[in-house]
């Protein structure tokens, strides 16, 4: 089967986002990512994506208030995080807590689902370190509150702006694997919580949202700028893939990588990052692009969103094992918007397979 990754299959019509892999362009509801990321907060992009998808319209101010209330509401579930749950990787523990929330298709369910990963991930991370979870402050923006719940103190303006830029950048991205999973579940009318749980399960794989942690592992293993070329050559000789490079759709640079690189700049300018790490990453990026061009001349492979995600989330002091969970915090709004679009306009998704197994023996 040639396209067993379904690459040429159109499986949905959407008004939510468009990924142009040849031009390296991402459009979210008619707005190009470069424009959106320069002025929008998480709340703004949530309003943009959910417009017309729920039974009542919401302004960014309404959403900020109601999302703050929803964070306070879901925080009550944190007490149910027992030892078995806390022994799981953070994204799995977060998913297990979300699985306790009721299913539904309404605004309350959507708000609870937007709030839940933002509250559960910082709480799980603190509990896993033996610290007390920090309760949400409903008056803060979603990004400021996430950072406050993570560290226990109020974040700087540059940190909040960087997290907003990240959450906006990754809010939606066409029919990627997790979004498709969300739409498949939505097509059965199971409810938004079920769609989001399926999507998180698809996201956590290393070929999708699980890559940024390994990007930092790679930078650690490379160690110094001088070692970059030799280390990357050895990795390719061992048949490994370079984490943070390559993409199913983009044949040029992933526009989200540049959005995040740009979002890092105020943190760099104000000394809120480890500069050695940034310089090493730049050297690894240059060396990787050169060696991939040399080794895979027929396959354009460039940097993807995960490379700069790793640097940005590291600068915001998220531990690397939590990166996939932070991705889920931002992408949940895209999953919900797609699930609602599917439920409102689509039919049951039920493709066919070709049977290639043995036939019954003739009697």
Catalytic (active-site) positions: 247, 306
Size of the site for ligand ACO (CB under 6 A): 19
Which stretch, 18-26, 71-79, 148-156, 242-250, contacts ligand ACO (CB under 6 A)? 242-250
Q: Is 103 exposed, middle or buried (0-12, 13-18, 19+ CB in 10 A)?
A: middle
Q: Is 287 in the site for ligand ACO (CB under 6 A)?
A: no
DSSP labels, 80-138: G--HHHHTS-HHHHHHHHHTTSPP-SSHHHHHHHHHHHHHHHHHHHHHHTTPPPPPP-T
3-state SS of 167-235 is HHHCCCCCCCHHHHHHHHHHHCCCCHHHHHHHHHHHHCCCCCCCCHHHHHHHHHHHCCHHHHHHHHHHH
Q: Is 308 in the site for ligand ACO (CB under 6 A)?
A: no
Q: Is 54 in the site for ligand ACO (CB under 6 A)?
A: no
Sign of CA dihedral 249, 253, 257, 262: negative
Q: Is 335 in the site for ligand ACO (CB under 6 A)?
A: no
Q: Could you tell me the smallest distance in angstroms from the CB atom of residue 270 to ligand ACO?
A: 28
Q: Could you tell me the smallest distance in angstroms from the CB atom of residue 262 to ligand ACO?
A: 18
Query: Between residues 100 and 296, which has the closer beta carbon with respect to ligand ACO?
Result: 296
Choosing from 296, 317, 321, 344, the residue that interacts with ligand ACO (CB under 6 A) is: 296
Please enumerate in sequence order all residues whose Cβ is within 8 A of that of 230, keeping only pairs 6 or more positions apart, or say none. none
Q: Is 137 in the site for ligand ACO (CB under 6 A)?
A: no
Dist. CA 185–CA 291, nearest whole Å: 40
Q: Could you tell me the smallest distance in angstroms from the CB atom of residue 206 to ligand ACO?
A: 6
Q: Is 293 in the site for ligand ACO (CB under 6 A)?
A: no
Query: Between residues 14 and 109, which has the closer beta carbon with respect to ligand ACO?
Result: 14
Tokens at residue 324, please?
A: 């996939």
Determine the residue with CB nearest ligand ACO.
Answer: 246
Dist. CA 48–CA 188, nearest whole Å: 25
Q: Is 247 in the site for ligand ACO (CB under 6 A)?
A: yes
Query: Between residues 77 and 208, which has the closer beta carbon with respect to ligand ACO?
Result: 208
Query: Between residues 124 and 232, which has the closer beta carbon with respect to ligand ACO?
Result: 232
Crossing angle (nearest 10°) for helices 212-222 and 323-345: 150
Query: Between residues 116 and 211, which has the closer beta carbon with respect to ligand ACO?
Result: 211
Choosing from 40, 134, 211, 218, the residue that interacts with ligand ACO (CB under 6 A) is: 211
Residues that bind ligand ACO (CB under 6 A): 5, 207-209, 211, 241-248, 296, 299, 301, 304-306
């Amino acid at each position: 089967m040639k396209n067993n990754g379904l690459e040429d299959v159109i499986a949905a019509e959407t008004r939510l986002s468009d990924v142009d892999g040849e031009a390296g362009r991402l459009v979210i509801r008619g707005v190009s990512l470069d424009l959106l990321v320069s002025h929008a907060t998480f709340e703004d992009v949530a309003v943009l994506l959910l417009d017309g998808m729920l039974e009542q319209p919401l302004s960014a101010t309404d959403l900020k208030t109601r999302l703050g209330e929803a964070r306070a509401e879901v925080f009550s579930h944190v007490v149910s995080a027992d030892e078995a749950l806390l022994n799981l990787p953070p994204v799995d523990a977060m998913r297990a807590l979300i699985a306790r929330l009721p299913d539904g298709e309404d605004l309350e369910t959507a708000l609870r689902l937007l709030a839940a990963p933002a509250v559960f991930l910082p709480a799980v991370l603190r509990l896993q370190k033996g610290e007390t979870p920090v309760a949400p402050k409903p008056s803060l923006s979603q990004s400021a509150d996430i950072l406050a719940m993570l560290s226990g103190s109020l974040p700087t303006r540059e940190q909040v702006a960087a997290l907003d830029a990240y959450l906006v950048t990754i809010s939606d991205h066409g029919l990627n694997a997790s979004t498709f999973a969300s739409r498949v579940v939505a097509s059965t009318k199971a409810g938004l919580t079920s769609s989001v749980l399926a999507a998180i399960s698809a996201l956590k794989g290393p070929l999708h949202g699980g890559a940024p942690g390994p990007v930092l592992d790679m930078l650690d293993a490379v160690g110094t700028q001088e070692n970059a070329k030799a280390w990357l050559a050895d990795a390719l000789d061992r048949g490994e893939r370079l984490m943070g490079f390559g993409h199913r759709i983009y044949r040029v640079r992933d526009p989200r990588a540049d959005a995040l690189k740009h979002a890092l700049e105020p943190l760099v300018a104000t000394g809120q990052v480890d500069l050695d790490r940034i310089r090493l990453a730049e050297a690894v990026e240059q060396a990787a692009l050169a060696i991939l061009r040399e080794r895979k001349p027929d396959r354009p492979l460039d940097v993807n969103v995960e490379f700069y995600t790793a640097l940005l989330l590291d600068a915001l002091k998220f531990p690397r094992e939590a990166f996939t969970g932070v991705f889920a915090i931002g992408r949940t709004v895209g999953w919900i918007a797609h699930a609602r679009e599917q439920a409102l306009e689509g039919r049951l998704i039920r493709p066919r397979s070709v049977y290639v197994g043995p036939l019954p023996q003739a009697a």
